[in-house]
């Protein structure tokens, strides 16, 4: 199961070409993850593959196509976690590493740490042989236009019609292990090195074989305060809630705190669910029974 962000998008509100690009991109990312699992691969490999596909696709706010910070550059955050041993890795504030999700996995597997930021994370990624690119490689004309439009309003407030374009993936493999991955460029015109929930384990990303793997998208400040992804797993473990009920309850709590967004999740049993409190959420899912669904708005559609 994958998501490409939640937000204000409604049927007819998007440029038809942009809508098609996002729809096709979701399908391609779903293919990337599905191919790993179909060959008996691990959940962690599947979520990295799906997230990497979306990081390369300028239709999404992650990797190439990320939104621009206040001063016109791109800063990427990412996290990945596996549920068997609850190992995790995350990076924040990357400016030149082409594959932020792969950098997060390198932190998990090649270092004693969980979270690295800014220059140190970039240096580590370079040491691990991950490709580096100029920051301009991430920038697209549309993202530049969005920044210019927001700055022209002369307000420090978030865009009222914002789309939280964070991307994410969750999976369960044939061994019953779950994994989650989340990657983002953050918020348009963000300042002061702002970091949202995506790279924070337990907030925007969490995986635990005792409950579920969760990836979130939305107003990160509130998801951090709610420890949203971990809270879903806690409700399942300690309150015996099913996956859908846990997602809905946590998003209701976030709503009461003034936030909106969405989450996707999958349990070791294969149970999968998504929930969102915005008009739309880019999302897609597939399973071993042949179910395949790609949807963007409140009503679902088959691919």
Binding site per annotation, positions:
194-197, 217-220
Q: How far is 260 from 274, CA to CA, in rounded Å? A: 14
Tokens 């990836």 -> residue: 215
Asked if 167 contacts 88 with a C-beta cutoff of 8 angstroms, the reply is: no
CB atoms < 10 A from the CB of 56, how many? Answer: 18
Asked if 1 contacts 266 with a C-beta cutoff of 8 angstroms, the reply is: yes
- Residue 138 backbone dihedrals phi, psi, to 5 degrees: -80, -20
Measured in whole angstroms, the distance separating CA 241 from the mean position of its chain's CA atoms is 24
Degrees, nearest 5: CA angle 230-81-96? 115
- Residue 81 backbone dihedrals phi, psi, to 5 degrees: -155, 140
Asked if 229 contacts 216 with a C-beta cutoff of 8 angstroms, the reply is: yes
Beta-strand pair 115-117/88-94: parallel
- Annotated binding-site members for substrate: 194-197, 217-220
3-state secondary structure of 126: helix
Residues assigned a catalytic role: 166
Asked if 283 contacts 273 with a C-beta cutoff of 8 angstroms, the reply is: no
3-state secondary structure of 195: coil
């Amino acid at each position: 199961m994958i998501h490409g962000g939640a937000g204000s998008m409604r049927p007819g509100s998007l440029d038809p070409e942009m809508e098609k690009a996002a729809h096709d991109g979701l399908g391609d990312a779903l293919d990337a993850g599905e191919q790993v699992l179909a060959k008996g691969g691990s959940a962690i490999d599947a979520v990295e593959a799906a997230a990497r596909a979306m990081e390369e696709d300028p239709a999404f706010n992650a990797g190439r196509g990320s939104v621009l910070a206040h001063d016109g550059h791109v800063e990427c955050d990412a996290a990945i976690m596996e549920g068997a041993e609850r190992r995790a890795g995350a990076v924040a504030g990357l400016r030149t590493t082409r594959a932020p999700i792969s950098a997060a996995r390198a932190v998990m597997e090649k270092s004693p740490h969980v979270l690295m930021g800014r220059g140190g994370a970039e240096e580590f990624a370079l040491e691990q042989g991950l490709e580096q690119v100029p920051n301009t490689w991430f920038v697209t004309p549309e993202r530049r236009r969005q920044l210019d439009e927001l700055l022209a309003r002369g307000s420090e407030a978030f865009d009222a019609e914002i789309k939280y374009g964070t991307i994410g993936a969750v999976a369960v493999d044939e061994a019953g292990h779950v994994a989650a991955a989340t990657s983002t460029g953050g918020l348009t015109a963000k300042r002061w090195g702002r970091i949202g929930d995506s790279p924070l384990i337990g907030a925007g990303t969490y995986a635990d074989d005792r409950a579920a793997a969760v990836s979130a998208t939305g107003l990160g400040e509130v998801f951090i305060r709610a420890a949203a992804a971990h809270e879903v797993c806690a409700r399942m473990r300690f309150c015996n809630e099913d996956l859908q009920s846990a997602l809905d309850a946590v998003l209701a709590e976030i709503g009461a705190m003034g936030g909106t967004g969405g989450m996707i999740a999958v349990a070791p049993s294969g149970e999968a669910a998504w929930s969102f409190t915005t008009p739309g959420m880019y999302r897609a899912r597939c399973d071993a029974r042949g179910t395949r669904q790609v949807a963007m708005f409140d009503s679902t559609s088959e691919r």
